[in-house]
Structure 1
Amino acid sequence: MELEEVPGVGAKTAERLRELDDPMAAVEREDVAAVASASGVSAGRAAHIVRGAIRARHDDPGGFLATDRAREVYDAVLELLQERAVTTYGEHRLATIYPSAVDSRIEEVRAFAERARERDPDPGVLDALEDVAPVERPADVTVRDRCLATADAETYSEATEAVPELSVEIVEDAHGLADLARGYASVVALDEAFAGVTIEGDVTVDPNALSHPEEYVPERTLAFFATNRASLRAAIRVHRRAGLEAAVDLDELEAGLAELDADGSVAGDEELERLQVAVDDLDAAVSTAESMANDQLRDAIEERDVTIEGADLLSLVERGAGVDSLLSRELADEYAEAVRAAREHVADALALREDEASLADQAFGDEPTYPVERREEAVSRLREELVAERDRRAAKRKREVAARLADLRAGAADLVRDALELDVELAVSRFCADFDCTPAERAGTGFDIEGGRSPLLDVPFADVEPVDYGVSGVALLSGVNSGGKTSTLDLVAVVVVLAHMGLPVPAESARVPAVEELHYYAKSQGTLDAGAFESTLRDFAALTRGADAKCVLVDELESITEPGASAKIIAGILEELHDAGATGVFVSHLAGEIRDTAGYDVDVDGIRAVGLEDGELVVERSPEKGLLARSTPELIVEKLAEEGADRAFYEGLLEKF
Structure 2
Amino acid sequence: MDLEDVPGVGAKTAERLRELDDPAGALEREDVAAVASAPGISTGRAARIVRGAIRARHDDPGGFLATDRAREVYDAVLGLLQERATTTYAEHRLATLYPTASASRIEEVAAFAERAHERSLDPSVAEALADVEPIERPDDVTVRDRCLATADAETYQAATAAFPELPVEIVDDARGLADLARGYSSVVALDEAFAGVAIEGDVTVDPSAFDHPAEHIPERALAFFATNRASLRAAAAVHRRAGVDAPLDLDELEDALDDLAADGSVAGDEELERLNVAVDDLDAAVSTAESVANDRLRAAIEERDVTIEGADLLSLVERGAGVDSLLSRELADEYAAAVAAAREHVRDALALRNDEAERAVRIFGDEPTYPVERRDEAVSRLREALVAERDRRAAKRKRDLAGRLADLRAGASVLVRDALELDVELAVARFCADFDCTPAERGGVGFEIEGGRSPLLDVPFDDVEPVDYAVDGVALLSGVNSGGKTSTLDLVAVVVVLAHMGLPVPAESARVPAVEELHYHAKSQGTLDAGAFESTLRDFAALTRGADAKCVLVDELESITEPGASAKIVAGILEALHGAGATGVFVSHLAGEIRDAAEYEVDVDGIRAVGLKDGELVVERSPVKDLLARSTPELIVEKLAGEADDAAFYEDLLAKFDGDGP
TM-score, normalised on structure 1? 0.98
- Does 2:500 correspond to 1:500? yes
Identify the residue that residue 518 of structure 1 maps to in structure 2. Answer: 518
- Does 2:32 correspond to 1:32? yes
Deviations, residues 458-515 of structure 1 (Å, cap 9, x unaligned)? 1111111111111111111111111111111000000000000010000000011111
Task: Write the mapping of 1:333-482 to structure 2, written as runs, cut at 5 A.
Answer: 333-482=333-482
Identify the residue that residue 632 of structure 1 maps to in structure 2. Answer: 632
Identify the residue that residue 255 of structure 1 maps to in structure 2. Answer: 255
Identify the residue that residue 217 of structure 1 maps to in structure 2. Answer: 217
What is the alpha-carbon distance in structure 1 between the residues aligned to residue 465 and residue 178 of structure 2? 86
Q: Secondary structure at the match of 2:554?
A: strand
Supply the AA of the counterpart residue of 2:74: Y
What is the alpha-carbon distance in structure 2 between the residues aligned to residue 326 and residue 518 of structure 1? 108
What is the alpha-carbon distance in structure 2 between the residues aligned to residue 125 and residue 379 of structure 1? 55
Supply the AA of the counterpart residue of 1:448: E
What is the alpha-carbon distance in structure 1 between the residues aligned to residue 290 and residue 527 of structure 2? 96
Identify the residue that residue 321 of structure 1 maps to in structure 2. Answer: 321
Identify the residue that residue 565 of structure 1 maps to in structure 2. Answer: 565
1:605 shift after superposition: 0.9
1:377 shift after superposition: 1.4
How many residue pairs match? The answer is: 657
What is the alpha-carbon distance in structure 2 between the residues aligned to residue 631 and residue 644 of structure 1? 23
Q: Secondary structure at the match of 1:260?
A: coil
Supply the AA of the counterpart residue of 1:414: V
1:331 shift after superposition: 1.3
Supply the AA of the counterpart residue of 1:82: Q
What is the alpha-carbon distance in structure 2 between the residues aligned to residue 387 and residue 615 of structure 1? 89
Task: Write the mapping of 1:2-41 to structure 2, written as runs, cut at 5 A.
Answer: 2-41=2-41
Supply the AA of the counterpart residue of 1:280: D
Supply the AA of the counterpart residue of 2:474: V
1:207 shift after superposition: 1.8
What is the alpha-carbon distance in structure 2 between the residues aligned to residue 556 and residue 297 of structure 1? 105
Higher deviation after alignment, 386-395 or 286-295: 286-295
Identify the residue that residue 68 of structure 2 maps to in structure 1. Answer: 68
1:641 shift after superposition: 2.6
- Sequence identity of aligned pairs in percent? 85
1:88 shift after superposition: 1.3
Supply the AA of the counterpart residue of 1:426: L
Q: Secondary structure at the match of 1:307?
A: coil
What is the alpha-carbon distance in structure 2 between the residues aligned to residue 563 and residue 104 of structure 1? 45
Q: Secondary structure at the match of 2:476?
A: strand
Identify the residue that residue 509 of structure 2 maps to in structure 1. Answer: 509
Higher deviation after alignment, 574-583 or 286-295: 286-295
What is the alpha-carbon distance in structure 2 between the residues aligned to residue 628 and residue 327 of structure 1? 123
Higher deviation after alignment, 391-400 or 279-288: 279-288
What is the alpha-carbon distance in structure 2 between the residues aligned to residue 328 and residue 419 of structure 1? 75
Identify the residue that residue 83 of structure 1 maps to in structure 2. Answer: 83
1:642 shift after superposition: 2.7
Q: Secondary structure at the match of 1:624?
A: coil
Supply the AA of the counterpart residue of 1:415: L
Identify the residue that residue 198 of structure 1 maps to in structure 2. Answer: 198
1:154 shift after superposition: 2.2
- In structure 2, the gaps of 5 or more residues are 658-662
What is the alpha-carbon distance in structure 1 between the residues aligned to residue 450 and residue 597 of structure 2? 31
Higher deviation after alignment, 542-551 or 144-153: 144-153
CA RMSD of aligned residues (A): 1.2
1:315 shift after superposition: 2.3
Supply the AA of the counterpart residue of 1:251: D
1:318 shift after superposition: 2.5
Deviations, residues 264-308 of structure 1 (Å, cap 9, x unaligned)? 111111111111111111112111111111111111111112222
Q: Secondary structure at the match of 1:655?
A: helix
What is the alpha-carbon distance in structure 1 between the residues aligned to residue 539 and residue 322 of structure 2? 112
1:314 shift after superposition: 2.4
What is the alpha-carbon distance in structure 1 between the residues aligned to residue 444 and residue 304 of structure 2? 115
Supply the AA of the counterpart residue of 1:514: A
Supply the AA of the counterpart residue of 1:397: R
1:313 shift after superposition: 2.2
1:138 shift after superposition: 1.3
Supply the AA of the counterpart residue of 2:392: R
Higher deviation after alignment, 344-353 or 207-216: 207-216
Identify the residue that residue 281 of structure 1 maps to in structure 2. Answer: 281
- Does 2:330 correspond to 1:330? yes
- Does 2:494 correspond to 1:491? no
Q: Secondary structure at the match of 2:4?
A: helix
What is the alpha-carbon distance in structure 1 between the residues aligned to residue 166 and residue 453 of structure 2? 63
Higher deviation after alignment, 13-22 or 171-180: 171-180
What is the alpha-carbon distance in structure 1 between the residues aligned to residue 597 and residue 344 of structure 2? 110
Identify the residue that residue 555 of structure 1 maps to in structure 2. Answer: 555
What is the alpha-carbon distance in structure 2 between the residues aligned to residue 143 and residue 50 of structure 1? 36
